[in-house]
Structure 1
């Protein structure tokens, strides 16, 4: 029983800060404590505002409502507005899919929930005997709450009027919470709720750490895993979540004894063996929502040295001021006080961090014995670069060291900026000289090179266009963005070197689908030899239609009639009994070459590593005999391009015809899901190389989006690809200029393609990108980006697109791939900022 951990900042009050709203809307933050509060869950139990109205109606939503008088806003504890509760329209039996949702707008530490039925002055008698809780920190990834013994069903009410309070063990750190009422038969169910907790002041989003190990003692096994961790696990590392390192519960002196009843020995600690880990330190990384200034770190560690457990000998920490900035150097080394090391008592260890600013911390905890056990980690920190305006009568703690660190950071930033300007000036002078030499070449020598992974194909540049007459002024601080007109094609260097950064398998897979570019997967990637995928019986696949084909294979849409009867499927499905499961099946033709078979199996290995809510999953394979098959998910609503092209944008006046509509917030929600999936791919250094709406699939219900890879094989989208001598095809209208000219496929080129995909979505897929340009003109336009003389053409702003969102697109199309935003930034922007733009 081993579970993963993510090392990020823990403990809601691990550097407790209180905020007071100043009349001029300025926040004052000051430090009051550096000690970890061992009774956090006992103190953090304030009602958050369902009953008293602090939570506004707009932040309370639901999957459905029986009537206007039972809408979500009436689901407030101990209130009698409307008909006295929220009541869903649909039955909660047997699906349990109806929910009441509360958006707290900021991360909160939740220790308690309360529920109540609908009394309605004696006229209503509906209540929920049980329910489930799901929560989210970003509105995209939803996690089902489970108690310390793995149960996810919470006991509810026995009548309509009593309030039933449920202690959350483990507690929840979340911004959004959903209540799913349950029933054991068809019955009416209504609900009123309240949440109890406090603000999550630490700002910690997640922590990453190695999976805890199992200690074998005489007569018992001690499981030192993070059993409440709510992130993901990959190759022995837990990431993207929070767990027991920040739940406010401190472990005791004897790690085999726990404070909770009916749990296993070692439950209160996360622990690692130096021998099992294979290195001398435990590396933990802490990610915060925003940059902060760190003063102290407090670590609660076990020291039962008689059993090979000791406090760490030293800690080395690196600080990263921002996601896109480099790690600080050198590392901060923190020696551990040596007194009382023979005392077997557990203890908090306070380590000074010197007021350093950071958004990400990476700390190495060095072993002092065979085992290292940690129960809690907390930080004393405050917002970085926060403007502080004192409120009358309030004491303000000054920290000269933090101010000095901020000043030094600003000066270093200015120096780096000046150096960057000098480099840019020298670089531009170099290219002016180079292009001046090229200008003397004859017209017969002028060529545009189109690069593909295995070939350099030369296309004669014989077009002649007039330059646009009226260009809009450039956006401040950005390169000029000309109106969409055919570009002039002045000379470019006659030879562009072929360059491919990753170990590219093949842009066009054996079955006609796109394949990911993966750096050295076969030889050196950790975890490349993962557990084999389940072999699925071919007879369970029922053919529905042919989706597409390639040189050596085909892609078919199939159904699995009873997925519940296939226990070998890699993960459980939320499919009603009796309903089939849609899947896409990639089939390799039996006459395929040996190289094609190897490529097919390599693609299986690649796809088997992609496990993310917004990436199509590989479910199983049929490789025991020919033809070789791989079975992936498929979504019931088809691809995003077809889904959007059949809809019109919902304006403020509402629908005026029978055509299906879609709203701006729905588009942004889907775009943020795509960004989330691409963020996962980029974290593995995988490059998609064909991101577009045709390669995103749409599920029903809440429009769940998953990124796929077989749009290239479909005849429906043949016009989106540029064919080279009847062999390779390239999606040039979505490709960055360096992909077209140099074959350079990276995460930054995927960011470019995301900008085009976002443009498609905001245009509701009504036209092809650069629809007024021929394929050759698109290639010529890539040459304009290479020359960087201000004549490159950008996609114009869609009518529904706010200026701020269009600026995000333009940043994705920046000529300098290093300046393009990361998918982490894009996802954050779409989740937090773009949703409020109209």
Structure 2
């Protein structure tokens, strides 16, 4: 405070009598600023809560507090005779400090001049601290303060233990600091930082110690002779050994399990049982247990203690780590910092820059005399090859010269699909420079023209198959095949829920603008292009959590796709149902790439409406959370009670929108959302699955027009897919979207929507609600939202935040207990 290492913006207060003169920024000890201290607005009396707060912006060890009254160049008379301390640690709540003797009140000042330093035993580990002045009689107080401490480098965030079995007659051997930190939460076990990490090693035995804050103990009667303590650190560290200061029998068994993610623990047979225990006896029963960890990497350490005596006591735990030239991030990935090479690299780059500047100047000078000749030669030879797809499905090739491009610059947009009306066809730029008219002519006469099949869609789906809930879409045929007839204009088929032809007014509203090209952003687009298979699978899996295949027991098969198969499995260390998704053919590089991409994306996901990913084994099998009731489509077909309840269906759509909102916030485009890829648990909890990244297999009936025609994938195309999925769910999944249309007809319909050509086919809504009822009003408003999701102008579609907020408000009176009044069957065990 005095040195101003803590800025004014880090010092706040509950109130100030006058902010400019006695605000918290003036509370620096031994400093006369403005009126010379912080003074709260109200007088202090018994029961008042006024405070000055210091935010450190990172966790600190606070070993002392120094206070001083307001001198004010001789005019001040105010000081705090007593005060309380509250502190806050990241992820915790505000906790009232209590010293080792159990006292909360700290003695403050007796005049306005003298600075009084109070040491804190145990020290406070926290990121924020509050000083709360206290007085039994009403009085005016002012304070100047100083915080004594240093940065917290040990990295221990918290430990978790149980206080059951810690009472011994009149003596209480529970972790009192931990209990106070969890007062508002209640229950057992307790979590935080307490006696085991206060820096105090007891030198007397528990029965002779006069202090009740030296030892933590458990009796064998209530604990069964077994105690477990879990330690969590802020990052993965390299541990060399652990030291436990204990009192009890040397026959105590200690087991240590380690984990990098807190879910799967390695060395489950325990390091201690393999290496033995190094005992350093101080006095009978009082000794130190040292456990070597051999520079093992971990972020979570679980210590299991088994004792035979009636009581076992522990005073302090110390963790020793090795110094590394590497840092390890939260996912366990090592990043090498070669600081010693930075200066050399900078020097080399500077010299290289100077050298390149000299070369550049020489080249400019030499080429100046040849500029006109070069320019003339370039203008006569540079052309662009454009491949077009005519309305009859046949490809056509056009050469555009530079002059043509200058007259029509909108033709060329780089390697993107565009939707210009050039001779009634959709075009894609495929070419570059041509060297002569001969080479240009040859490019036209090739038997196999350049392909536009950058994306594949499935044929009309059949749901009479026995595909499992985790299976992939069926094998597919190319989207823009040459067999699509150009004369398709009417479709005589009659679906169960007939599509409607949009009116002229709705077409004008829905097709205000035509997207000219996909926008470039940092989104992770799920397009099926630019896939490289040069990187080995082992290199690509370096940042993905690993699970040993020896910990996995495969059981019943529940699903099968084109390239993968799904089995229910048991995974040691995961305390909930799991399944494993593995390749049918391990030599299929395309399938392997898709599975790796899915694993990378899922490993970075953490949301209640996204399926949980636990890791990948050596055979590239993805260990996933197993949802007990299967896909939303299969679930609704099995559950007529849920299917007939409109609020339950809206509840399902709300959860899907919540998961998609999370993907939107993470700038990840799903690309193939449908009820088939949304899974359900028995409590009607829905999670989104099959996030396969840039190797997805899109679904035609759920894809936006710009995705079908322009290969443009964005969050707005996901909104279109959500609208189609919500339409299907709200109709009970009884009808497939556009079930009366073939793939070719769907493609032409998408082209008409983009080109604003009537007629276009839209999905119809059917409802059994009476038009005067509140249910019909809710239904109608929900349908209007879904229609907005199908706007041909992507900028006019809502985002997922808006969708989720709307559905949440519409379904606030939803009762899960009522919806689950009937039993929901689960997948077979």
TM superposition score category, shorter chain reference: 0.3 to 0.5
Structure having the higher Rg: 2
Highest relative contact order (Cα 8 Å, sep 6+), 1 or 2? 1
Give the helix-richer structure, 1 or 2: 2
